[in-house]
Amino acid sequence: MQHSDIWRAIDTLAAEHGLSPSGLARKAGLDPTSFNLSKRRTEDGRFRWPSTESLAKVLTATGAKLDDFTALVMGARALPDARPKGRSKIPLIGMAQAGGQGFFDDGGYPAGAGWDEVELPQTGDANAYALSISGDSMEPVYRAGDSIIVSPAAPVRVGDRVVARAADGAVMAKLLSRRTASRIELTSLNPAYPDLRFAAREIIWMHRIIWASQ
C-alpha cells in the first residue's frame, strides 16, 4: 500500500459520487481543504496520510464499504456496483487554453466560466473534461481537431497517456514512462519533441486520457 494508492482511492470515491475531493471532504463533515493536493505533503515534502478518522467519516458519508475502498486502494478503477452517471455533455476548452489561469482548481478539476461544452461518449467520472487538440506536438497519436476525454478519477499507471500540469503552469499531454516517489518522466507523443523529466513536486496534477475522437 502506497501513499498514492490511498489518495487515488479517495479521488475515485469522490468522483463516483459526483464530487470533487473538497466536496467529498465537506460531505464527510471535514474541512473542505482536507483532501486538496497541497495537503498531501508537508512543506518539506514528506508524505501526509489521511487519518483513519477521516476515512471512517468518508465511508459513512458515502455509504461505501471498507471492502470497496480497499478494492480502490488495490487498483480497482471504480466501485464494484458503480454505474455511469449518464453525462453526455462534458466541459471543453482548447489544449492551448488549458495552461491559462482560472480553468482548473488546485486539484485539477474544471473550474471557472470559460469552459464550453461538447457532447461525447458517457463516462462514469462526474469530473471528466475534454480538451481540443491544436498544433502538431501530439502527432501522430492525436491531431489538430481531435478531442480527448480526461478523467481525474481514473488511476494513473506507467504506460498511460496522461494530461499533466507542471508547477510553471504548463499543461501537456504525454505518455507516463516512469514514476517514482521523487521523479516523473514523460515521453512525448510526437518524437520530434523532447521527453521531459520532473521532480515529483514539480507536477501539480496528472490525469489519465480515457478516450479520443479521431
Q: What is the pLDDT of residue 187?
A: 92
Whether 78 maps to a domain, the answer reads no
For 191, other C-beta atoms within 10 Å of its C-beta total 10
pLDDT at 111: 78
Residue type at 77 in one-letter notation? R
Domain check: are 106 and 200 in the same one?
Answer: yes
The SS3 call for residue 201 is helix
- One domain for residues 58 and 113: no
d(C-alpha 118, C-alpha 146), whole Å? 12
Number of domains in the chain: 2
Q: Could you tell me the residue range of the domain that residue 12 belongs to?
A: 3-73
Q: Is residue 81 part of a domain?
A: no
The pTM for the full model equals: 0.58
DSSP 104-157: B-TTS-B-SS--EEEE----S-TT-EEEE--SSTTTTTS-TT-EEEEETTS---
For residues 40 and 108, membership in a common domain is answered with: no
Q: Which residues pair with 208 in a beta bridge?
A: 151, 162
> 41 and 108: one domain?
no
Residues 96 and 164 in one domain: yes
Torsion 61-66-67-73 (CA) sign: positive
Q: Is residue 207 part of a domain?
A: yes
For residues 127 and 202, state if they share a domain. Answer: yes
137-145's contacts with Cβ under 8 Å and 24+ in sequence apart are 137/188, 137/189, 137/190, 137/193, 138/173, 138/189, 138/190, 139/189, 139/190, 140/189, 140/190, 141/189, 141/190, 142/173, 142/189, 142/212, 142/214, 143/214
Digits of tens for pLDDT over the chain (214 positions)?
788 889 888 888 887 776 778 889 999 999 989 998 888 888 888 898 999 999 999 999 988 889 888 888 887 766 665 444 444 678 888 887 787 777 887 778 787 777 888 776 666 677 888 998 888 888 888 888 888 889 888 888 888 889 999 999 888 999 999 999 899 999 988 888 999 999 999 999 999 988 887 5
The three cell numbers locating residue 152 = 481525474
Residue 80 lies in a domain: no
Q: What are 47's three cell numbers?
A: 508524505
- Asked if 115 and 194 sit in the same domain, the reply is yes
Quote the CA–CA distance of 134 and 119 in Å, as a whole number.
19
Residue 85 lies in a domain: no
Q: How far is CA 165 from the centre of its chain?
A: 10
